[in-house]
Amino acid sequence: MATNRTFTMIKPDAFGAGNSGAILKMIEESGFKIVAMKATKLTPELAGKFYEVHKERPFYADLCAYMSSGPIFAAILEKDNAVEDFRKLIGATNPADAAEGTIRKIFAKSIEANAVHGSDSDENAAIEGNFFFNQAERVL
C-alpha cells in the first residue's frame, strides 16, 4: 500500500553552510508536514549501513566518509504522494542536472555533497525512517 510519508536528511554540506532553515522552509512551503526530526551525526559505520545498497559503487567509501563528516538533520515528512513529490522538490542527484528552483539546484555543492536525501520508494521511506527513529519518536 502506498504511504504518504517519506524520509529526508539535510546532509553535512547544507547543515554546515547554515542552509537547514532555508531548506526546511522550502519543504514546509511545498506542503510537507515534518512529523519527526532530529539533529544527529552518523558514524562511518552507520553511514555505511544506510548506504549499503551502494557498497559496490566506486563512490561508496567517499560517500560514507562525507556523510559522517558533520552533523545532519534526519526527518520524516508527510504529504499526499510524498515520495514522488519530494524527489521532484529536491531535483536530480547531480545538481548540474537538477531543474531550476529545486533544493539541490539551489543548495548542492556537488554530485556527492548534494544538500539533501530523499527516499526513492515507499518501502525505502519506511526502512530509512525506522533506521533513525524509534516508535516513540514518530508518534505524530
Q: Which residues are catalytic?
A: 117
Site for ligand IDP in 34-93 (CB under 6 A): 59, 63, 93
Tell whether 114 is in a known binding site: yes
Phi, psi of 134 (to 5 degrees): -85, 175
Give residue for cell 561508496.
Answer: 60
- How many Cβ atoms are within 10 Å of 88's Cβ, its own excluded? 13
Identity of the residue, 106 or 137, whose beta carbon is nearer to ligand IDP in the bound complex: 106
Eight-state DSSP code of residue 93: S
Tell whether 59 is in a known binding site: yes
Distance CA 95, CA 18 (A): 18
The answer to the question of residue 24 lying near ligand IDP (CB under 6 A) is no
Of 7, 74, 115, 117, which one interacts with ligand IDP (CB under 6 A)?
117
The answer to the question of residue 137 lying near ligand IDP (CB under 6 A) is no
Q: Which amino acid is at 67?
A: M
Identity of the residue, 9 or 36, whose beta carbon is nearer to ligand IDP in the bound complex: 9
The answer to the question of residue 112 lying near ligand IDP (CB under 6 A) is yes
Show binding-site residues for ATP. 11, 59, 87, 93, 104, 114
Interface positions with ligand IDP (CB under 6 A): 59, 63, 93, 111-112, 114, 117, 120
